[in-house]
Structures are given as structure tokens and as C-alpha cells.
Amino acid sequence: MSLSSEQIENVINEIDGIADPSSKRYGYLLNWQNLFDPFWHYGIGLSDAQIFDTGRGLCPFERKEAKFVIGIDTIAFEPKQTIERLKHALRVFGNWEYTVPGWNCEHLGRLIATDQPRCYQSQFIWWLCDMTPDGEHKTAHQVFFNYLTVVAPSLNR
């Protein structure tokens, strides 16, 4: 799903209206599975009930049953930084083509939350998807880093 500049700004305003810094899920990378779906889906927590879908939807939606992604505590950004990175990521990647193996919700969600555009679910077919052998998208990190260097350098590592 490709978003226009106006749609992106509307989504950012929606994030600002929904985001609840007092929520334990605020600014954290979350994942969940849908019934009869073998894949894990990824998003950024906005509140106790709302998640930002970093997949095809690129929008907030209500879902209370989601898990914190384990094993990223030492590399994750602080929640407020993650939310700011999310808003900037929309401006950068809002028009990128979503593909299940090559650029998906896990790539974008992990890039926002940890600075690593990695997808473990499609890692085993990395050579078919123009990824590195460890499942990272080859250009997303540099594109985002370059953008943030200009507009919000404090959100880079």
C-alpha cells in the first residue's frame, strides 16, 4: 500500500492522537498471529489497545492480544524515540512496495524499534529476496539513517 504525503501526515496525526505514553506497550515492538495464519505480524505499540501496523495497512488498529518481541531489550530504542522513528519511517517508507518475503512488517517494525531491518521469517530464502544472509533488507537501514541524519539526527545510533 502506497501512501500519499497527505495520507502520511494524516496517519501521523492519528498516531499523535492515539499514543498513550503511560501504556506498558507504548513504543515497543509487538507481534501476533492471526487465526489460521502461519506468519507472525509485527507492529509498534501505541496504547493498551492500539498497535501501529507496520505491514500492508500502515495504520493504527485495535488489538489487545499481542506479545512483546523477546530478545531485543538491549538493542531497542527508548519508547518515545521509537514512536518518533515510526513517524519519520512513514515519510521514508510510506511508498515502498510491501512484499511478504522482501519488505514486510517485520523488516519495518524491527528497523523502527532496533535499527535492524531484519526478517527472520523469510531469512531462509534470503537469496530470492535480495536480502543479506541474516535476513536484513540491503538498503533500508542506510536510506533511513541518511534521512534521519538530516531531519532528526538524535534518532540515529
Q: What are the DSSP E strand ranges found in the chain? A: 29-33, 40-45, 50-53, 60-62, 67-68
Q: Residue 134's pLDDT is what? A: 86
Answering whether pTM is above 0.75, one says yes
- Per-residue confidence (pLDDT) for residue 121, from 0 to 100: 80
The answer to whether 70 touches 121, Cβ cutoff 8 Å, is no
Written as one letter, the residue type at 137 is: H
Rounded CA gap, 146 and 21, in Å?
Answer: 28
CA gap 74, 137 in Å, rounded: 21
Q: Among residues 53, 34, 157, 33, which one has the least CA distance to residue 104?
A: 53
Q: Which residues of the chain have pLDDT under 50?
A: none
Q: Enter the DSSP assignment of 137.
A: B
- At 122 the three-state DSSP class reads coil
pLDDT (tens digit per residue) in 18-40: 999 999 999 999 999 988 888 89
pLDDT of residue 129: 73
The pLDDT value recorded for residue 1 is: 60
- The span from the CA of 86 to the CA of 81, in Å, is 8
